[in-house]
């Protein structure tokens, strides 16, 4: 049975993905949620509709913006004695949401990936947005190249994001997703 960890699994795309992985694909899913209350609500929507799958999905609290929370989530999953077929970095905030968009959408997936990579056997999936390409198409050729090249280092990408953040439109949402896609 493939084990998969999904951040931001309690609502929206993440919840739909968790349901599909558990119900349609027979995976064991660790549903990551920043809020235990909202996580329990999301988990309940799946287990109420599919009680026979209740043992195949587990809630794990994780705030992708917090090193301590990410480390604690890693320890929870590690303690289960499983390897993860995949890590899905889905947690994110929109351009009108409270909180720091870059901290969640850009740095969060890097933080989680680096913490969980010892458990991942196959793939890491980062959920981005069409806003990434919408933002990038309005940038100069140097920026387009930097955000599109497989040779761009983390240091170069991070420096560019930091430089562009103060003037980024949509509260930095497009920039955060372009950075995530480049990462």
124-143 pLDDT tens trace: 999 999 999 999 999 999 99
User: What distances in angstroms separate CA 23 from CA 8, 14, 18, 49, 81, one per listed residue?
Assistant: 18, 14, 8, 10, 22
Q: What is the pLDDT of residue 99?
A: 67
Contact yes or no for 64/91 (Cβ under 8 A): yes
Q: In the chain, where do the E strands start and end?
A: 3-6, 28-33, 57-61, 84-89, 120-126
Q: What is the pLDDT of residue 171?
A: 82
Q: What is the pLDDT of residue 65?
A: 97
pTM for the model stands at: 0.95
Q: What is the pLDDT of residues 54-76, one digit of tens each?
A: 999 999 999 999 999 999 999 99
Distance between CA atoms of residues 103 and 165, nearest Å: 11
Q: Which residues contact 134 (CB under 8 A, 6 or more apart)?
A: 174
Mean pLDDT for 168-178 is 90
Query: Between 155 and 169, whose confidence is greater?
Result: 155
Q: What percent of the chain has pLDDT over 90?
A: 93
Q: What is the pLDDT of residues 92-107, one digit of tens each?
A: 998 777 668 999 999 9
Per DSSP, the residues of 83-119 read -EEEEEE-----TTSSS-HHIIIIIHHHHHHHHHTTT
């Amino acid at each position: 049975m493939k084990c998969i960890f999904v951040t931001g699994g309690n609502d929206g795309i993440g919840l739909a993905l968790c349901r599909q992985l558990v119900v349609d694909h027979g995976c064991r899913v660790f549903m990551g949620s920043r809020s235990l209350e909202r996580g329990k609500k999301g988990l309940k929507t799946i287990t109420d509709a599919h009680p026979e799958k209740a043992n195949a999905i587990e809630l794990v609290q994780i705030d992708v913006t917090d090193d301590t929370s990410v480390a604690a989530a890693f320890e929870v999953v590690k303690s289960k004695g499983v390897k993860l077929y995949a890590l899905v970095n889905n947690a994110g905030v929109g351009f009108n949401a409270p909180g720091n968009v870059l901290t969640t959408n850009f740095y969060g997936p890097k933080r989680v990936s680096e913490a969980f990579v010892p458990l991942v056997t196959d793939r890491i999936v980062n959920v981005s947005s069409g806003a990434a390409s919408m933002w990038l198409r309005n940038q100069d050729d140097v920026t387009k190249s930097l955000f599109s090249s497989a040779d761009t280092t983390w240091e170069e990408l991070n420096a560019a994001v930091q430089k562009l953040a103060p003037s980024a439109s949509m509260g930095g949402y497009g920039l955060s997703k372009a950075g995530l896609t480049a990462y």
